[in-house]
Amino acid sequence: MPRISQRASAIFESPFRKYLPLAADAKARGVDVIHLNIGQPDFRMPEIDFSNLDFKDYIPYGHAEGEAALREAWCAYNRRFDIEIDPENLLITTGASEGILFALMAVADVGGEVIVPEPFYANYNGFAQMAGLVIKPIFSSITEGFAIPVKEEFEQAIGPRTKAILLSNPNNPSGKVYSRETLEDLASLARRHELFLIVDEAYSEFLYEGFDFFSALRLEDVDENVIVVDSVSKRFNGCGIRVGAIASRNEEIIEHIARFGRLRLSPPMLGQKIALAALSLDRDYHQPVVKEFASRRDLLLSRLSQLPDVIFHAPEGAFYMLVRLPIKDSEHFCAWLLTDFQYQGKTVMLSPGTGFYATLQKGTDEVRIAYILGKERLSSAMDCLEKALQVYPGLKKTVSPAASTQP
Amino acid sequence: MPRISQRASAIFESPFRKYLPLAADAKARGVDVIHLNIGQPDFRMPEIDFSNLDFKDYIPYGHAEGEAALREAWCAYNRRFDIEIDPENLLITTGASEGILFALMAVADVGGEVIVPEPFYANYNGFAQMAGLVIKPIFSSITEGFAIPVKEEFEQAIGPRTKAILLSNPNNPSGKVYSRETLEDLASLARRHELFLIVDEAYSEFLYEGFDFFSALRLEDVDENVIVVDSVSKRFNGCGIRVGAIASRNEEIIEHIARFGRLRLSPPMLGQKIALAALSLDRDYHQPVVKEFASRRDLLLSRLSQLPDVIFHAPEGAFYMLVRLPIKDSEHFCAWLLTDFQYQGKTVMLSPGTGFYATLQKGTDEVRIAYILGKERLSSAMDCLEKALQVYPGLKKTVSPAASTQP
């Protein structure tokens, strides 16, 4: 029997997948499972006339680099964020996911290292494994509001095999928004050590009061180092259209990423049509969406602050938060919520924190909440969490007063 | 300045891309360029009501493995080819391209070898480079009708690093259709040497009279070895929807390919809707299409057989043919057609044969013709080719009578 490759057998499997059958079983028992485990909000897309896709009977390959009109529209849209980038420096990808994989494969060969502040988007692990790279995590702590560690910690982590720093801004899962100063510090590191700085800006549209988004494409004197990955999926709640972008003023890297793209011929054409329509709309789409997310966030903050021994940092952007609970094993807790718990016929599905850390033993007492449902559902979910923490058998023994690092 | 990876800088760049600016220049000079260089036919898709995509205002992530209804429809469709495969053994991919990349990454680690009968689809080179694999070509000759070499040649090429045999059936670029016996020979090799047998069946729908398609999924006693890659793009002329499939009864490999898929979250949802509609249609769609392709093929055969020193093998399937011309350098010839030649205001764009061989110096006197345009255009293209071969300065000196290996 032929054997599969090591890279395939080693591939990171998202821990939450183990819970899908448990959730199905709970539903089969009649339990109402409130899904706060995935990043797919319940908002409508902008109103787009799907009947007017202008493919009447023929859907050809598009340009490997993406359709010219979409690349231009994306660049024009970027000006709203004070980003000046030329269409030839921005390629359309099949979702931001493809952009991450292409970027990793273009910046490092097998055995190369990428520094990633943790917690980080769990699938970075898998993409790094596909590309044969090693993620070197730099720990950022919930108790310090996920502030990016000082330069010295990065300097220590940078070795001869280090090729890039990768992060998402705003951060999934922490909701942290990195300041201009933080990004400038990273840029100077990247410049000094000749590293790429890959920033996943998929959530740039989702920012709460008091926080500004500063794109890595606005950094000065690091044009050769900066690669930005972007997405229409999150921006317009069109997760299934699979359209993202990758941008860099480093022409060599863009040309070589384009070569990866040419192998797969073209990004999805129907999705690109929709993305073009969405990016050409007024920005008004996001104001009510962000307002609603803010009010959901505030509901969570209010409920969580009433729970003993719960630590959290108020999200500054995106629609996720990591919460430290007085539990010993978040994977067990998330499973237990589905297998052994219900409150008034309901339970809540969360993501265990462990999936967002590369360092062992980190995240074992944290869960990620994606506040992608309306306040009524969120409120029920918080009822469940509150009750669960009263009866869960795997609680930590020590009990201290409630704490938070709300801004 | 940070350096790009070796795998990126080494990536195969399709030779025809160099010619795109030349074609643009020719058009700017008023020359009518007849494009027979790409595999995108001019047929209409099946009639599908695009206004009824049933995404009114929300396009969510789908299942990473593809939508259940589409997987079932694909399996049902496969029964038309006497293929029995369960939906859990068939995953939807973002085009056949993604299927090829996932398969290569799942069957071998960096440094692994894959045996590929040449000529082969040029992008296999690039996918192998992305995956860090080495293609070991097995030469099949135009003068022997691209018959797959005898077992002994494979045995010689198989070494300790060999992990798989990869081929397309029908073959792009040769139009060869491999018989059941040939596939059984390959299967026994795969079994004996514990190799995967990856067959790209994207063109299975396009077969000319006298030739039958035998899917690798019908091979017996090699369920653990066989991986089939398939596509809706070619099948229904929906190249831009980016929907393919990968199937294997080896549950371990399917599960691990699914893990790659989960990283990129889901295949494009709109394309999947269209694919589902197309696969649910009657098969009638293909009869007139194949009939038209056959008549285009016959036109080419008739014209080519009148040219001196031209060798070809009549395509048995797909819509490509490789043609050996009395030229010294096919890359130069294909460029020259665009830069220095025109006949009655027209010229033809072809793909140089070199891109389809891994062995150096193979294909230097061959071009690929994709007969994807109507007979009037094809006829004009043949006029151009005939004239070009009379005046091209890079002709071979020796002249022999016209020859062919038509069946």
- pLDDT of B236 over the 50 cut: yes
Angle between helices B330-339 and B19-28 (to 10 degrees): 20
> How confident is the model at residue A53, as a pLDDT?
63
Average pLDDT over residues A218-246: 93
> Letter for the amino acid at B283?
R
Identify whether the C-beta of residue B63 lies closer than 8 Å to the C-beta of residue B262: no
Question: In 3D, which of A177, A219, A224 has the Cα closest to residue A201?
Answer: A177
Q: Which tokens sit at A215?
A: 């794109």
Identify whether the C-beta of residue A186 lies closer than 8 Å to the C-beta of residue A165: yes
> How confident is the model at residue A56, as a pLDDT?
59
Higher pLDDT, B59 or B275: B275
Judged by CB atoms within 8 Å, which residues 169-228 of B form the interface with A?
Answer: 190, 194-196, 224-225
- pLDDT of B14 over the 90 cut: no
The Cα–Cα gap between A119 and A142 comes to 9
Higher pLDDT, A59 or B178: B178
pLDDT in tens, B279-293: 988 767 888 999 999
CA atoms within 13 A of residue A358's CA, in its CB half-sphere: 20
B242–chain A Cβ distance below 8 A for any pair? yes
If you count residue pairs, one on A and one on B, with CB atoms under 8 Å apart, how many are there?
A: 232
Cβ <8 Å between B266 and A242: yes
CA atoms within 13 A of residue A109's CA, in its CB half-sphere: 16
Identify whether the C-beta of residue A35 lies closer than 8 Å to the C-beta of residue A349: yes
Residues of chain B with Cβ-Cβ distance to A126 below 8 Å are: 259-260, 262-263
Across the beta sheet with B196-200, the strand order is: B90-93, B244-247, B226-231, B196-200, B162-168, B113-118, B134-139
> How confident is the model at residue B13, as a pLDDT?
73
> Mind telling me how many Å the CA of A389 is from chain B's nearest CA?
31
Q: Which residues are B166's β-sheet partners?
A: B198
Higher pLDDT, A266 or A42: A266
Percent of chain A with pLDDT over 70: 94
pLDDT in tens, B120-146: 999 999 999 999 999 999 999 999 999
Q: Which residues are A118's β-sheet partners?
A: A139
Cβ <8 Å between B262 and A9: no
Q: Out of B174-188, B365-379, B385-399, which region has the weakest mean confidence (pLDDT)?
A: B385-399
Q: Cis peptide leading into B15, omega within 30 of 0?
A: no
- pLDDT of B406 over the 50 cut: no
Q: Cα B355 from chain centroid?
A: 12
The contacts found for A277-285 with CB under 8 angstroms, 24 or more apart, are A277/A46, A277/A48, A277/A49, A278/A45, A278/A46, A278/A48, A278/A232, A278/A235, A278/A236, A278/A238, A279/A70, A279/A73, A279/A74, A279/A76, A279/A77, A279/A232, A280/A73, A281/A46, A283/A80, A285/A46, A285/A236
> How confident is the model at residue B383, as a pLDDT?
98
> How confident is the model at residue B191, as a pLDDT?
96
> How confident is the model at residue A360, as a pLDDT?
87
Exposed, middle or buried by CB within 10 Å (0-12, 13-18, 19+), for B116?
Answer: buried
B240–chain A Cβ distance below 8 A for any pair? yes
Residues of chain B with Cβ-Cβ distance to A106 below 8 Å are: 4-5, 8
A18–chain B Cβ distance below 8 A for any pair? no
Identify whether the C-beta of residue B324 lies closer than 8 Å to the C-beta of residue B366: yes
> Mind telling me how many Å the CA of A91 is from chain B's nearest CA?
16
First-residue to last-residue Cα distance in chain A = 58
What mean pLDDT is reported for chain A? 92
Q: Out of A126-140, A167-181, B269-283, B295-309, which region has the weakest mean confidence (pLDDT)?
A: B269-283
Place of tokens 């590191």: A189
Q: Which helix (H) or strand (E) covers residue B188, if one does?
A: helix B180-192
CA atoms within 13 A of residue A327's CA, in its CB half-sphere: 31
pLDDT in tens, B39-89: 777 787 777 766 666 565 678 888 999 999 999 999 999 999 999 999 999
The Cα–Cα gap between B407 and B403 comes to 12
A93–chain B Cβ distance below 8 A for any pair? no
* Residue B196 phi, psi (nearest 5): -80, 145
Average pLDDT over residues A33-62: 77
Coil/strand/helix, residue B227: strand
pLDDT in tens, B142-164: 999 999 888 889 999 999 999 99
Higher pLDDT, A312 or A10: A312
3-state secondary structure chain A: CCCCCHHHHCCCCCHHHHHHHHHHHHHHCCCEEEECCCCCCCCCCCCCCHHHCCCCCCCCCCCCCCCHHHHHHHHHHHHHHCCCCCHHHEEEECHHHHHHHHHHHHHCCCCCEEEEEECCCCHHHHHHHHHCCEEEEEECCHHHCCCCCCHHHHHHHCCCCEEEEEEECCCCCCCCCCCHHHHHHHHHHHHHHCCEEEEECCCCCCECCCCCCCCHHHCCCCCCCEEEEEECCCCCCCHHHCCEEEECCCHHHHHHHHHHHHHCCCCCHHHHHHHHHHHCCCHHHHHHHHHHHHHHHHHHHHHHCCCCCCEECCCCECCEEEEECCECCHHHHHHHHHHCCCECCEEEECEEHHHHCCCCCCCCCEEEEECCCCHHHHHHHHHHHHHHHHHCCCECCCCCCCCCCCC
List CB contacts of A386: < 8 A, sequence separation 6 or more: A303, A306, A307
When CB atoms are compared, the residue of B1, B14, B240 closest to A59 is: B240
The Cα–Cα gap between A397 and B133 comes to 52
Q: What is the pTM of this model?
A: 0.93
Q: Out of B196-205, B374-383, B390-399, which region has the weakest mean confidence (pLDDT)?
A: B390-399
List CB contacts of A21: < 8 A, sequence separation 6 or more: none
Identify whether the C-beta of residue B167 lies closer than 8 Å to the C-beta of residue B200: yes
Residues of chain A with Cβ-Cβ distance to B59 below 8 Å are: 45, 237-241, 274
What are chain A's domains? 6-43+286-391 (3.90.1150.10), 58-283 (3.40.640.10)
The Cα–Cα gap between B93 and B65 comes to 8
B373–chain A Cβ distance below 8 A for any pair? no
- pLDDT of B404 over the 70 cut: no
- pLDDT of A57 over the 70 cut: no
The Cα–Cα gap between B347 and B254 comes to 46
> Mind telling me how many Å the CA of A160 is from chain B's nearest CA?
12
Beta strands at B311-312 and B244-247: parallel, antiparallel or unpaired: unpaired
Judged by CB atoms within 8 Å, which residues 118-157 of A form the interface with B?
Answer: 123, 126-127, 130, 132
Exposed, middle or buried by CB within 10 Å (0-12, 13-18, 19+), for A105?
Answer: buried
Question: In 3D, which of A318, A347, A356 has the Cα closest to residue A123?
Answer: A356
Identify whether the C-beta of residue A271 lies closer than 8 Å to the C-beta of residue A236: no
Question: In 3D, which of B356, B384, B385, B365 has the Cα closest to residue B15?
Answer: B356
- Please report which confidence band the pLDDT of residue B199 belongs to, taking 50, 70 and 90 as the band edges: very high
Q: What number of other Cβ atoms are within 10 A of residue B202's Cβ? A: 27
Higher pLDDT, A60 or B80: B80
Q: Which tokens sit at B144?
A: 């022997």
> How confident is the model at residue A284, as a pLDDT?
77
First-residue to last-residue Cα distance in chain B = 58
Exposed, middle or buried by CB within 10 Å (0-12, 13-18, 19+), for B54?
Answer: exposed
Q: Out of A286-290, B101-105, B329-333, which region has the weakest mean confidence (pLDDT)?
A: A286-290
Angle between helices A19-28 and A330-339 (to 10 degrees): 20
- pLDDT of B25 over the 80 cut: yes
Question: In 3D, which of A161, A106, A158 has the Cα closest to residue A131?
Answer: A106
Q: Cα A143 from chain centroid?
A: 21
List CB contacts of B158: < 8 A, sequence separation 6 or more: B115, B189, B193, B195
Identify whether the C-beta of residue A183 lies closer than 8 Å to the C-beta of residue A176: no
Q: Which tokens sit at B218?
A: 């019908």
The Cα–Cα gap between B123 and B374 comes to 26
* Residue A387 phi, psi (nearest 5): -65, -40
Using the Cα atoms of residue A218, residue A222, residue A223 and residue A226 in order, give the sign of their dihedral: negative
- pLDDT of A406 over the 50 cut: no
- Please report which confidence band the pLDDT of residue A51 belongs to, taking 50, 70 and 90 as the band edges: low
What mean pLDDT is reported for chain B? 92
Average pLDDT over residues A26-36: 96
A2–chain B Cβ distance below 8 A for any pair? yes
B262–chain A Cβ distance below 8 A for any pair? yes
Identify whether the C-beta of residue A358 lies closer than 8 Å to the C-beta of residue A118: yes
> Mind telling me how many Å the CA of B174 is from chain A's nearest CA?
20
> How confident is the model at residue B54, as a pLDDT?
58
